[in-house]
């Protein structure tokens, strides 16, 4: 099956990957929308209940460390289907558990499976399309499809829960995930790996070398800080919004839609745009503006409409920035692409976990959401500084949109 030329198989491959990647965000889609209700039902504070996100992200880190260095030797379809089934099963189990202490290890397993979904999907993009121009466009589409999790599933499940309860919402999420697993099993080609004699320890060392490569190291720093912001924001979005706008519960579902919708739109068009104007400029600029927008979101809230506008702009800017970061990793990691994907897969849940922890600490340490707002402002400044570091460190780097290696399947 030739995936490097047009046709039905190539389209099915793209659709299967776009359908899979939203399930790499199970906390944002299936727990965060109901955080207030879960906290009340389980008799926990919002800050403590938000740590269900922390253990989910911790699972993502664990799977990245255990799995991603070996992904070059594995057939993507089998791994992806098994990971999706695990997300589905643990989500359904979560829906019938009413003990916070028991939910923690279950969500840890969910996060582990979700981390595999993310790593396998990103590796599949690199393996399925070796043509650099095609790859950056496909990257934008797949990255954009991430938004379907928090942007479509989250508000939809919020609607289900409004008619029933949050447990039913979780069960529906599990059933939908299982359906996607069945589709991927039939639609995605095997995308086999290439067994090598390289040891696991050597692959970890290679990952360290990949993270230290010029441009890649700065992009990794940007990715890490942006994920910290993401973890702070999405782990407590529902609770924070109700603090800004008391009694506006009906806005929670639309809020979970507008940000990811902006992300999806920007990511879909970001690839073709970057292929024309260059990745570095677009990535650095949108990352700086992301920090500015988030400061506006936490401090300027005269009405829900203004908050929704800032959140939409956050999604729009982040969609371009995240597509650019991924493309730059593909572009500048050379023959260490597999190792760079490994590090990138670990940074996502790692940053989100730290964000969830810091957000919880801020809520416990300061009255109301004042500490939360200050924390978000500090992280916003940090993300702007990392973007400036990328710009300064790459002034003499060719900013052509694509310069990726021709073959990545064996890495």
pLDDT per residue over 25-45, tens digit each?
899 889 988 888 899 999 988
Closest residue by Cα to residue 318 from 353, 346, 282, 342: 282
Which pLDDT value is given to residue 69? 63
Specify the 3-state DSSP secondary structure of 386. helix
Give the mean pLDDT of 362-373. Answer: 88
Residue 204, pLDDT above cutoff 90: no
Angle at 340 between CA 334 and CA 343, to 5 degrees: 170
Residue 383, pLDDT above cutoff 90: yes
Which pLDDT value is given to residue 311? 94
Give CA separation, 120 vs 65, 67, 113, 330, 370, in Å: 13, 9, 11, 15, 39
Which pLDDT value is given to residue 9? 75
Cα–Cα distance, 249 to 239 (Å, whole number)? 10
Domain that holds residue 73: 8-193+200-393
Cα–Cα distance, 355 to 382 (Å, whole number)? 13
Domain-located, residue 401: no
DSSP line for 111-123: HHHHHHHHHHHHH
Give the mean pLDDT of 191-197. Answer: 70
Cα–Cα distance, 339 to 216 (Å, whole number)? 11
Domain-located, residue 67: yes
C-beta separation of 3 from 128 below 8 A: yes
Between 341 and 115, the higher pLDDT residue: 115
What secondary structure letter does DSSP report for 68? G
At 252-310, the pLDDT tens digits run 888 888 988 888 888 777 767 776 777 888 889 999 999 999 999 999 989 999 999 99
Specify the 3-state DSSP secondary structure of 220. helix
Between 18 and 278, the higher pLDDT residue: 18
Least confident span in 77-81, 82-86, 269-273: 269-273
Residue 400, pLDDT above cutoff 70: no
At 237-247, the pLDDT tens digits run 988 998 899 99
Q: Predicted confidence band at 200 (pLDDT cuts at 50, 70, 90)?
A: low
Cα–Cα distance, 82 to 175 (Å, whole number)? 15
7: left (phi over 0), alpha (psi -120 to 50) or beta: left
* Percent of the chain residues topping a pLDDT of 70: 90
Which pLDDT value is given to residue 308? 94
For the chain, helix (H) and strand (E) counts, in that order, are: 19, 0
Domain-located, residue 86: yes
Residue 65, pLDDT above cutoff 70: yes
The domain that holds 238 is classified in CATH as: 1.20.1250.20
- Nearby residues of 236 by Cβ (< 8 Å), 6 or more positions away: 32, 35, 46, 50, 359, 363, 372
Element (H or E) spanning 358, and its range? Answer: helix 337-365
Which pLDDT value is given to residue 299? 95
Between 72 and 6, the higher pLDDT residue: 72
Domain-located, residue 351: yes
Which pLDDT value is given to residue 197? 59
Cα–Cα distance, 357 to 348 (Å, whole number)? 14
Q: Predicted confidence band at 3 (pLDDT cuts at 50, 70, 90)?
A: very low
Residue 325, pLDDT above cutoff 50: yes
Between 15 and 138, the higher pLDDT residue: 15
Between 19 and 126, the higher pLDDT residue: 19
Residue with tokens 């650095």: 284
Domain-located, residue 408: no
Give the mean pLDDT of 335-357. Answer: 82
Which pLDDT value is given to residue 207? 78
Domain-located, residue 288: yes
Residue with tokens 């400061």: 295
Which pLDDT value is given to residue 8? 63
Kindly state the greatest CA–CA separation across the chain: 60
Q: Count structural domains, the chain.
A: 1
Domain-located, residue 399: no
Between 21 and 214, the higher pLDDT residue: 21
* Percent of the chain residues topping a pLDDT of 90: 39
Give the mean pLDDT of 189-209. Answer: 75
DSSP line for 264-276: HHHHHHHHHHHHH
Residue 51, pLDDT above cutoff 60: yes
Cα–Cα distance, 34 to 31 (Å, whole number)? 6
Domain-located, residue 145: yes
C-beta separation of 190 from 75 below 8 A: yes
């Amino acid at each position: 099956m030739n995936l490097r030329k047009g046709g039905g198989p190539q389209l099915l491959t793209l659709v299967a990957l776009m359908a899979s990647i939203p399930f790499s965000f199970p906390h944002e889609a299936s727990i965060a929308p109901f955080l207030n209700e879960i906290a009340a039902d389980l008799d926990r504070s919002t800050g403590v209940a938000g740590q269900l996100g922390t253990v989910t992200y911790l699972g993502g880190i664990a799977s990245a460390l255990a799995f991603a260095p070996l992904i070059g030797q594995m057939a993507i379809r089998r791994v992806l289907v098994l990971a999706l089934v695990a997300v589905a099963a643990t989500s359904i189990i979560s829906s019938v558990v009413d003990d916070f202490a028991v939910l923690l290890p279950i969500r840890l397993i969910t996060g582990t499976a979700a981390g595999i979904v993310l790593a396998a999907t990103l590796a599949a993009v690199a393996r399925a399309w070796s043509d650099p121009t095609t790859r950056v466009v496909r990257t934008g589409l797949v990255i954009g499809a991430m938004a379907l999790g928090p942007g479509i599933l989250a508000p939809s499940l919020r609607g289900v829960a409004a008619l029933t309860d949050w447990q039913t919402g979780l069960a529906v999420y599990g059933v939908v995930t299982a359906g996607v697993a069945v589709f991927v099993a039939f639609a995605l080609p095997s995308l086999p790996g290439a067994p090598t004699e390289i040891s696991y320890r050597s692959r970890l060392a290679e990952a360290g070398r990949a993270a230290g490569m010029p441009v890649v190291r700065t992009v990794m720093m940007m990715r890490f800080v942006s994920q910290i912001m993401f973890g702070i924001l999405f782990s407590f979005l529902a609770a924070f919004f109700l603090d800004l706008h008391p009694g506006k519960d009906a806005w929670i579902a639309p809020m979970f839609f507008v940000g990811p919708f902006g992300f999806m739109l920007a990511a879909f068009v970001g690839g073709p745009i970057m292929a024309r104007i260059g990745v570095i400029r677009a990535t650095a600029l949108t990352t700086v503006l992301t920090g500015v927008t988030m400061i506006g979101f936490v401090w300027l809230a005269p009405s829900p409409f203004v908050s929704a506008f800032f959140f939409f702009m956050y999604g729009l800017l982040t969609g371009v920035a995240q597509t650019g970061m991924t493309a730059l990793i593909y572009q500048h990691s050379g023959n260490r692409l597999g190792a760079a994907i490994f590090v990138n897969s670990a940074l996502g849940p790692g940053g989100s976990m730290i964000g969830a922890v810091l957000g919880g600490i801020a809520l416990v340490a300061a009255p109301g959401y004042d500490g939360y707002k200050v924390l978000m402002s500090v992280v916003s400044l940090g993300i702007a500084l990392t973007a400036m570091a990328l710009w300064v460190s790459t002034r003499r780097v060719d900013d052509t949109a694509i310069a990726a290696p021709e073959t990545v399947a064996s890495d």
